[in-house]
C-alpha cells in the first residue's frame, strides 16, 4: 500500500485525455448522424420521419449503460468478431449523441416559423437553399445553448466507459483508489476534475442562452 501522491494526481489528469478523446469521437460521428436524424424528423417524406423518430425514441429509451454493454459484449458475440473496446464504445456514444443532438436540433428547426420556409420558397430558393441560408442559421442560434448543455451530459456519460474497462478518468480513479486505499481523496479529485471540465461548459451554455435569447 502506498499513499496518494502527486504522481497519482498526474495519472488522473492524464486519464482525462481519454475522456476528451471519447467526447471528440462521439461528436465527430454523432453530430452528422444527429443532423441527419433532425432533418429526417422534419422531412416531407413520411417514412423518413417515422424512421428518425423511432431511432431517437429507441436510443433515448435505453440506458447508456445498456448501449455500451450491448455493443461491447453483445454485438461481437453475435457477429462472431473481435471488436476493440474503443470501437464498441465509440459506436455506443455515437448513437447516444446522435439521438440527443437529433432531438435538440429538431426542436430548433421546428421553432423556426413555417413562414420562413415559405418566404424562401417565394424567393425561388430550393428546399436545400432554404435550409442552408434561412432556417438553418436561425435554428443554430436557438439550439446552441442546449447543444452545449448536452456536451456536459456527454462528458459525464463517458464515465460509464470505465465499467467496461476502458481506462478514462473514472476508471483511473478506481485504479488509484484500489492502489492507495484512499477512496475519499481519490474520488474527490476525480469529481473535482470532472467538475472543472463541466462547469465552464455549463456556464458557457448559460451565457449563450442569455445572449442568444430565442424570444427576441
Partner 1 sequence: MNFLPLWRYRDQLIDGTLVTLELTVIAACFGLLIGTAGAVALKGRAKPTRWLVRGYIELFRNTPSLIQLFIVFFVLPSFGLKLPAFEAAAVALSLYFGAYSVEIIRSGLDSVPKSQIEAGQCLGLSGWQVFVHILLPPALRNAYPAVTSQFVLLLLGTSLASQVAADELFHVAGFVESRTYRSFEVYAVICAVYFAMAMSFKILFAVVGALAFRSPRRR
**Could you list the residues that contact partner 1 (CB under 8 A)?**
57-58, 60-67, 69-70, 73-75, 77-78, 152, 156-157, 159-160, 162-163, 170, 173-174, 177, 183-184, 187-188, 190-191, 194-195, 198-199, 202
Quote the least distance from Cβ 43 to partner 1, whole Å: 23
> 61 or 124, CB closer to partner 1?
61
> 10 or 199, CB closer to partner 1?
199
| Rounded Cα distance, 101 and 11, in Å | 32
Quote the least distance from Cβ 132 to partner 1, whole Å: 31
> 36 or 183, CB closer to partner 1?
183
> 123 or 188, CB closer to partner 1?
188
Quote the least distance from Cβ 210 to partner 1, whole Å: 14
Quote the least distance from Cβ 39 to partner 1, whole Å: 23
> 32 or 200, CB closer to partner 1?
200
Quote the least distance from Cβ 71 to partner 1, whole Å: 9
**One-letter-per-residue 3-state SS of the chain:** CCCCCHHHHHHHHHHHHHHHHHHHHHHHHHHHHHHHHHHHHCCCCHHHHHHHHHHHHHHHCCCHHHHHHHHHHHHHHHHCCCCCHHHHHHHHHHHHHHHHHHHHHHHHHHHCCHHHHHHHHHCCCCHHHHHHHHHHHHHHHHHHHHHHHHHHHHHHHHHHHHHHCCCCHHHHHHHHHHHHCCHHHHHHHHHHHHHHHHHHHHHHHHHHHHHCCCCC
Amino acid at each position: 500500500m502506498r499513499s496518494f501522491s502527486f504522481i497519482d494526481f498526474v495519472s488522473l489528469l492524464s486519464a482525462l485525455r481519454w475522456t476528451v478523446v471519447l467526447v471528440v469521437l462521439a461528436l465527430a460521428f454523432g453530430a452528422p448522424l444527429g443532423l441527419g436524424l433532425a432533418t429526417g424528423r422534419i422531412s416531407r417524406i413520411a417514412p423518413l420521419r417515422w424512421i428518425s423518430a423511432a431511432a431517437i425514441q429507441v436510443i433515448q429509451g435505453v440506458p447508456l449503460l445498456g448501449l455500451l454493454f450491448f455493443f461491447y459484449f453483445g454485438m461481437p458475440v453475435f457477429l462472431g468478431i473481435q471488436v476493440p473496446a474503443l470501437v464498441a464504445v465509440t459506436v455506443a456514444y455515437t448513437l447516444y449523441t446522435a439521438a440527443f443532438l437529433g432531438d435538440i436540433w429538431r426542436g430548433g428547426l421546428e421553432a423556426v416559423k413555417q413562414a420562413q420556409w415559405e418566404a424562401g420558397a417565394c424567393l425561388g430558393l430550393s428546399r436545400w437553399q432554404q435550409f442552408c441560408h434561412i432556417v438553418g442559421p436561425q435554428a443554430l442560434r436557438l439550439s446552441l445553448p442546449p447543444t452545449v448543455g448536452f456536451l456536459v451530459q456527454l462528458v459525464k456519460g463517458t464515465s460509464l466507459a470505465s465499467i467496461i474497462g476502458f481506462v478514462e478518468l473514472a476508471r483511473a480513479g478506481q485504479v488509484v483508489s484500489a492502489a492507495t486505499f484512499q477512496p475519499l481523496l481519490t474520488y474527490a479529485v476525480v469529481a473535482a476534475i470532472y467538475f472543472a471540465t463541466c462547469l465552464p461548459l455549463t456556464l458557457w451554455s448559460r451565457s449563450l442562452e442569455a445572449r442568444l435569447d430565442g424570444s427576441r
